[in-house]
Structure 1
Amino acid sequence: MMDPRVRLIRERLSNVKNLIPIASGKGGVGKSLIASTTALVTSRKNYEVGLLDLDLHGPSAHVILGAEDLNFPEEDKGVLPREVGDIKFMSTVYYSRDKPSPLRGKDISDAIRELLSITRWGSLDYLFLDMPPGVGNETLDAIQLLEKPEFLIISTPSRVALRTVEKLVQMLKELKVPIGGIIENMRIEKSPNIKREVEELGVSHLGKIWFDNDLEQALGNPDRILETNFTEDLEEIFSEIDKLPSN
């Protein structure tokens, strides 16, 4: 028998035009920062935007956005996402209260289904999902529960990171899940050129973001984040992506 939450999830997301999970397969590559900044940039271009932090073990989008009031969101026939600037924001942190979440196996799947089934997104042009690292339950559940997602994958120039990303790409391809491309983050002058290796995976190399020494001081302040070189590089990449807003 089908879990009734699956039908409810489809209803909750029926008015979301574009579902963009942002994933990496590996931690520490700047995925949450790119997901949060992408939501900020997109919302400033008069799109209706949502951001869901789906990392059960290490949610961080609320820190990046300066949304550290962890009072539970308002309820009205479901849960209404918090308003963070022009973004509708929901996170597992409202349940974990920023404490460790020792979940595994079926508990992870249940938590994701519960979060997706109770959240009322309304009408959105874009819903960005900050995916947890790895290719475990969270990623597999997102693929199963979301209709027509298009993954955006983040890697650093490190060949170690790229090997992990390769596994994620292979999994998504085997499951016939669309991949929008790979963004190369934290590039420095001595970084190896990974563009050819990315393209050999059969995925577009969308562009690169240079390491920004000033970015750490901007975290928690969306206006300052938007003024960084990091965001400038990200917006340049967006201008080349058909399904994300351009200048």
Structure 2
Amino acid sequence: RLSQVNNIIAVSSGKGGVGKSVISSILALVLVKKGFRVGLMDLDFTSPSIHLILGVNDVFPEEREGIVPPTVYGIKFMSIVYFSKDRALSLRGQDFSDSFLEILAITKWGSLDYLILDMPPGINDATLDVVRYMRKVKFIIVSTPSLLSLSTVKKLLDSLQTSRVEVLGVIENMKMDNSSSIRGHIGGTRFIGEIPFDPELEKCLGKIEGLLSTKVSKELEKIVDKMIYHNV
């Protein structure tokens, strides 16, 4: 099902609350804006949120010798909420792996330039399964300037390095003017950009034009240009 997908990028973090899902969503929107064919998959089965960030309502996959994700705002979007209807799911271990593999097997992405995976935070079953079953995957790690976030990011980076997975780089999110930078504290991993704290972001959730006008979007455009045109 992934043979026609050119690039798979997993957006992950060491802990929750760092804005990872917002970055996944806006990254997909920015790539579509630049003319790429994009898919977006919410792999946080326990607490999916991409549908809320994008304001996705009343759309469902089409059954056609598999599941064809609906296209929303130019993005082929897949989420467990299509099947769980916002019920809380507690999937761990083999239960998660079985659900992940089933969705992976039945989802027909077609031809994509980029498939963005919004990962659950931390080192977990989703991370292990993605590394195992999606050989082309590369990771972007999201952190905030906090020491706690940085500490968990280092553990995640160590785990990915042990698994010999390529990490495109680390994004520092919610950067305040007076906060210290994590730039010099991530070892040999690339630092690919910082995104300032945007107090207007909350009111833009669920509104695509609003999301694309945020500081997050503007900085992600710069990061995407680095990734695409400078092989970063």
TM-score (ref. length: structure 2): 0.96
Of the three residues 188, 197, 202, the one matched with 2:185 is: 197
2-structure distance, mates of 1:68, 1:244: 37
* C-alpha deviation, 1:243, in angstroms: 6.6
SS in 1 for 2:210: helix
1:67-216 aligned at under 5 Å gives the runs 67-69=56-58, 72-198=60-186, 200=187, 202-216=188-202
Number of equivalenced pairs = 232
* Structure 2 match to 1:13: 2
Q: What percent identity do the matched residue pairs reach?
A: 48
2-structure distance, mates of 1:39, 1:243: 17
Regions of 4+ moved over 6 Å? 243-246
C-alpha distance after superposition, 1:105-159 (max 9, x if no partner):
2101101111111100000000000001121111100100102211011000111
Of the three residues 201, 222, 226, the one matched with 1:236 is: 222
Q: In the alignment, is residue 227 of structure 1 matched against residue 232 of structure 2?
A: no
1-structure distance, mates of 2:231, 2:105: 28
TM-score (ref. length: structure 1): 0.90
The answer (yes or no) to whether the contact 1:208–1:237 under 8 Å persists in 2 is no
SS in 2 for 1:98: coil
SS in 1 for 2:15: coil
Amino acid at match of 1:212: D
Unaligned stretches of 5+ residues in structure 1: 1-11
RMSD: 1.6
* C-alpha deviation, 1:45, in angstroms: 1.2
* Structure 2 match to 1:53: 42
